[in-house]
């Protein structure tokens, strides 16, 4: 119990403070949240991804374990989302939002900062999270987008959007320089490092600003609670079973299990808003799971330190 308190104070509380700062600043100054999101997408996240891959070597076996796990994990969540939708007899739009809310995880501006806080002394944990970010982006702009706009978006257009994402180029460039043992000049590395260091604060403040714009109405909607149950309870439960089944251990297991407990991706709300498909419901799911995750993620972090020693 003492360690759980330490986790909440040292990991979750700093995150909540930055989220709260984002909420307050957004209410007072009404930032252009889309512009902040562009700074993250096109500058800070790629810098953070690049620096972590540039400085960390991931064992091939570990990488294969991670990829095998995430494919099984996301497939399991897709099945759960489909069963929930059938059980509740949802229409196509509600079904798409529920499925995305369970399958799509906020690995970027929530998961990466949390991982950097938890694994600040072990770069491997952060590197695994980066692999998960890339996979989640692929899942978002394939499965997630298909759920919402399968009638209007072609496969070629989805692939084009994915290839254009800066995080993909930061990924392969950081990995290449690492594997080739190429040392960047200090005047090049330092600016990238400064951008990487700014990522956590700006990401969480931006997420807070986004949450401040969500209108809270019918939080007693059963879809919101079932989505939260699937994302915050069933997801880490399934992940733990798969980790044990695949006999993954150590930091890899700890990182994967923690990552499975993160709230619904903000991209699920962004896509729903962009294509006008149950946008209010999607936004409230993001808000609800983000708030509740401050407790559930803290518990998973605590338990992971006990189970995977």
**Residues 201, 62, 58, 240, Cα dihedral to 10°:** 10
**CB–CB of 266/107 below 8 Å?**
no
Which among 65, 49, 155, 35 has a CA at the least distance from the CA of 112?
49
**CB–CB of 265/135 below 8 Å?**
no
Close Cβ partners of 178 (under 8 Å, ≥ 6 residues apart): 53, 54, 55, 56, 57
For residue 153, the model assigns a pLDDT of 55
For residue 152, the model assigns a pLDDT of 47
For residue 294, the model assigns a pLDDT of 80
Half-sphere exposure of 275 toward its Cβ, with a 13 Å CA cutoff?
A: 20
β-partners of residue 68 are none
pLDDT in tens, the chain (309 residues): 555 676 677 767 887 888 899 999 999 999 888 788 888 878 988 898 888 778 766 677 778 888 899 999 999 999 999 998 888 888 888 888 889 999 999 887 788 888 877 887 777 888 888 888 878 877 887 788 777 765 345 556 666 666 777 877 887 898 889 888 899 999 999 999 999 899 888 888 888 887 787 766 554 578 889 999 999 999 999 999 999 999 888 888 999 999 999 999 877 877 776 667 777 788 788 888 888 888 898 889 889 988 886
**CB–CB of 39/198 below 8 Å?**
no
Burial 22-54 (b: 16+ CB within 10 A, else e): bbeebeeeebebeebbeebeeebbbbbbbbbbb
For the chain, which residues make up each domain, given as ranges? Answer: 2-307
Q: Is CATH 2.60.120.10 the classification given to domain 2-307? A: no
User: Cα separations (Å) of 161 from 53, 83, 168, 271?
Assistant: 23, 29, 11, 13
Can you give the pTM of this predicted structure? 0.77
Close Cβ partners of 79 (under 8 Å, ≥ 6 residues apart): none
Distance CA 286, CA 288 (A): 6
């Amino acid at each position: 119990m003492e360690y759980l308190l330490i986790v909440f104070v040292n990991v979750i509380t700093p995150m909540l403070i930055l989220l709260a700062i984002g909420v307050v600043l957004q209410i007072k100054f009404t930032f252009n949240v889309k512009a902040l999101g562009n700074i993250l997408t096109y500058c800070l996240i790629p810098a953070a991804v690049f620096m972590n891959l540039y400085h960390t070597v991931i064992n091939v076996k570990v990488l294969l374990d991670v990829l095998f796990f995430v494919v099984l994990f996301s497939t399991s969540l897709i099945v759960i989302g489909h069963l929930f939708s059938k059980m509740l007899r949802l229409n196509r739009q509600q079904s798409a939002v529920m499925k995305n809310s369970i399958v799509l995880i906020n690995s970027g501006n929530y998961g990466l900062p949390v991982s950097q806080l938890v694994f600040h002394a072990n770069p491997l944990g952060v590197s695994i999270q980066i692999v998960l970010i890339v996979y989640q982006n692929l899942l978002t702009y394939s499965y997630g987008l298909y759920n919402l706009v399968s009638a209007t978006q072609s496969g070629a257009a989805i692939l084009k959007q994915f290839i254009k994402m800066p995080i993909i180029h930061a990924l392969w460039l950081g990995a290449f320089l690492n594997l080739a043992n190429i040392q960047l000049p200090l005047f090049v590395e330092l600016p990238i490092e400064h951008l990487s260091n700014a990522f956590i604060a700006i990401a969480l403040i931006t997420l807070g600003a986004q949450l401040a714009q969500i209108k809270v109405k019918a939080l007693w909607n059963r879809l919101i609670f079932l989505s939260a149950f699937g994302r915050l309870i069933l997801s880490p439960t399934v992940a733990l079973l798969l980790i044990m089944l695949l006999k993954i251990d150590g930091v890899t297991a700890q990182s994967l299990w923690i990552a499975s407990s993160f709230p619904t991706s903000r991209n699920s709300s962004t896509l729903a808003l962009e294509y006008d498909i149950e946008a209010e419901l999607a936004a409230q799911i993001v808000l609800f799971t983000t708030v509740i995750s401050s407790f559930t993620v803290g518990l998973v972090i605590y338990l992971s330190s006990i189970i995977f020693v």
